[in-house]
Structure 1
């Protein structure tokens, strides 16, 4: 990141919303030397400060996107740290937690160091790397948890791959527990889901497409929850997509297992019917499910069973998406649209603004031990100013991501970020 501007920022007439403390009031906030210096109903003017009239719009902690694909190293044609961070800034994301399924994968301390140096030199937001859970993402041998943590990794995952071996997963959880490290896992039995293109069910049959059953997710999740209870490890199911899965998570939490889970904003706002006439930008991992499953996810978010909402940002180029549906690559971009798409749930009355922001900022920051997600004096000044009611139509060509495979192209959205601040420095709008 570039050196921050040392000029203080004074936000006035802002709706201060902090999901960590429950604060929701009209007031002011002063940023000085990269941190929040003062906030409240009345903050006195400060010499040299740039004053920003927020006009009653929401001033909240910056979003923390847990599990985005940033392209580097090896897939710079799909995304780079620079382009991903520019997209993040537009969307109000001040911290990207990057997946390790790159080429080579992030399974050694020197690759973690490389990513951190690249982020320091090219990113406009914070970028933290997750390390591979197994060497080469092969699922056979666990990585060096302690050394990777020392190098700067914030969690462990094999990205969109599941560890099939229960023995390997138990060993990884045991070692991670000893370091109090977080394991994030993709919950899908690869054998059972093999060859599937969309959610298994009536719609897949009518479209003539092979299905991926909900049972493939539930089987892997139930195994992991048993292993988490056995080892005492901190475990996060990266992306759940079904009513059955949230039921399993709820029971595990009630039993005292150290488990959390996430869902993508696409799975909370879209369903299998959006696939329509074989629209490949809606081909995701896990697949979009039945509307009943989507409603169950929304209720689980409102009830606190789902802890994290993420973008599941997975850029794909034109050659891999504009193919027959069953042959197209999975994945969609989402880092720039995560907040606006999530606000659909708020406007529909399904989820409170505080709950949504907690799932997008406070909770992922707490899980990873990051200094983010709260409006408190002395906290890093990672902030977003947004109008939750501003209407706009998304045009894919205008997105900052290098790839344009968004499922929200031409969607009518409500909620626009006006300013993003990282460590006291305005990164959007761009200088």
Structure 2
């Protein structure tokens, strides 16, 4: 395997320009003399800041069956462009990823692309119907790294309890989209003054909070019995839901949670445009909720950031709010959005931790480092240059975004995965 040296880079927390050399998929050393590296490739980091490549625990890559929206090649290229080295893809595809053969096929195809690394999630229940458990042991053996019915919220309480027990015995995480489907009903946006003013059906905060409360009671009961459960709440969007998770952690329950940048930077006020671009599930909430979630990032109550990258076709998102699907695709600009909007509050070390070590801890994986001998998964970030968001340049098939035309900083310029260049920004 070729040797690669990246020069003129700074490690997070340092202003010293250095060089790093990677070989055979590992970090070989820092500031090695060129005489020790015959025939190596050299890239200029142009003064950028290097960090471990990001890990995404929640992305919809739409393969198999919905490749008009996204496929492995476009989705993993988009992830690499966003600085991600590892992506966990959700199983709500067509067919649902509840078959070990599908898991193996996805892993094999992704390995041949040379882009971000793929770690498939598998469905918790057969067909994501919320009734009978999928063949979890066989799915784990095939390479599934977590179990989730994300995309649907219909697991009945008994099925979830059995799934938590079974997955825990396999040392696998269960991740849930926490909304009570009966409370959510036909809501297309956050229920509150804005939905009332617009005359649109609202999705109440209670739909999320009731589901989180129910699930945490199930987890608490299993934990009290000494069961090795691991439970993760996806895309928290309300202050009360975060308080429920915070309290569960105080009680020592094995619970983690994620927050998405769009729930921090956007609010239900955006729906005054009647633009389905802003329709997501759970919905954009109030500014008070967004502010509270940011405090959760700062105090450590939130374990990691995740994008819930959810591409759709433009035609689908141009439907009216009642009929359009939920989802925003922006994995390529997640870090620039966070750095531009919240970098001053969070700081670089905290922000990169939420996108690297945080996801690793949730999954029980080794925390990524820049140490010699560590895996050569790296991202170089240009923290200062301002660029206008142009979705036409996206690697994703979803070439539209709420941040179109906005000026952001913190662009990934180089992503290295397993020692190979997965993305290089030319300009």
Category of TM-score, reference length = shorter chain: over 0.9
Q: Deviations over 1:242-284 (max 9, x none)?
A: 1111111111111100000001111111111122311111111
8 A contact 2:164–2:174 mirrored in 1: yes
Q: Classify the secondary structure of the residue corresponding to 2:20.
A: strand
Match runs of 1:386-405 below 5 Å: 386-405=381-400
SS of aligned partner of 1:300: helix
Pick from 33, 57, 68 the counterpart of residue 44 of structure 1.
33
User: Residue 83 of structure 1 aligns with which residue?
Assistant: 74
Deviations 1:140-186 (A, max 9, x none): 01112211111100000011212441111111111112112101100
For residue 324 of structure 1, report the CA deviation from its aligned partner. 1.3
Deviations 1:341-399 (A, max 9, x none): 1112443x221211111111112123224456321222211111111122111112221
Aligned pairs (5 A) from 1:84-163:
84-122=75-113, 124-163=115-154
Unmatched segments (≥5 aa) in structure 2: 224-228
Residues 1:378 and 2:369 are matched in the alignment: no
Residue of 1, 10, 14 corresponding to 2:9: 14
Which residue in the other structure is 1:309 paired with? Answer: 305
Aligned equivalent of 2:222? 231
Mapping 1:221-260, distance limit 5 Å: 221-232=212-223, 233-260=229-256
Give 2:419's match in structure 1, choosing from 399, 403, 424: 424
Residue 50 of structure 1: how far off its partner (Å):
2.9
| Aligned mates of 1:304, 1:402 — CA distance in 2 | 34
Query: Contact between 2:194 and 2:272, CA under 8 Å: does it hold in 1?
Result: no
Q: Deviations over 1:301-340 (max 9, x none)?
A: 1111111111111011122111111221110101111111
Q: Deviations over 1:26-67 (max 9, x none)?
A: 33322111111123xx44333233333434321001111111
Tell me the SS of whatever aligns to 2:186. Answer: coil
Residues 279 and 325, structure 1, Cα contact 8 Å, conserved in 2: yes
For 1:268 and 1:24, how far apart are their aligned partners in 2? 28
Q: Alignment partner of 1:251: what SS?
A: helix
In structure 1, runs of 5+ residues without a counterpart are: 1-5, 18-22
Instruction: Quickly say closer, same or farther: Cα 1:32–1:372, change in 2 above 3 A.
Output: farther
Structure 2 counterpart of 1:292: 288
Is the 1:346–1:353 contact (alpha carbons within 8 Å) kept by the matching residues of 2? no
TM-score (norm 2): 0.94
| Alignment partner of 2:271 out of 271, 275, 280 | 275
Q: 1:81–1:123: 8 Å Cα contact kept in structure 2?
A: no
TM alignment of 1:316-395, pairs within 5 A: 316-347=312-343, 349-370=344-365, 373-395=368-390
Secondary structure of the corresponding residue to residue 69 of structure 2 = coil
TM-score under structure 1 length normalisation: 0.93
Q: Secondary structure at the match of 1:110?
A: helix
Distance 2:133 2:356 in 1: 29
Q: 1:333 to 1:243 in 2, by over 3 A?
A: same
Q: Distance in 2 between matches of 1:387 and 1:346?
A: 16
SS at match of 1:124: coil
Relative distance call for 1:218 and 1:82 in structure 2 (3 A) is same
How many Å apart are 1:11 and its aligned residue? 2.7
Which 10-residue stretch deviates more, 404-413 or 196-205? Answer: 404-413
User: Alpha carbon RMSD of aligned pairs, Å?
Assistant: 1.7
Equivalent residues of 1:61, 1:372 under 8 A apart: no
What's the secondary structure of 2:70's corresponding residue? Answer: coil
Alpha-carbon distance in 2 for matches of 1:385, 1:153: 29
- Distance in structure 2 (CA, Å) of the matches to 1:251 and 1:406: 35
Aligned residues: 418
CA distance in 2, matches of 1:151, 1:368: 17
Q: Contact 1:372/1:382 (CA < 8 Å) preserved in 2?
A: no
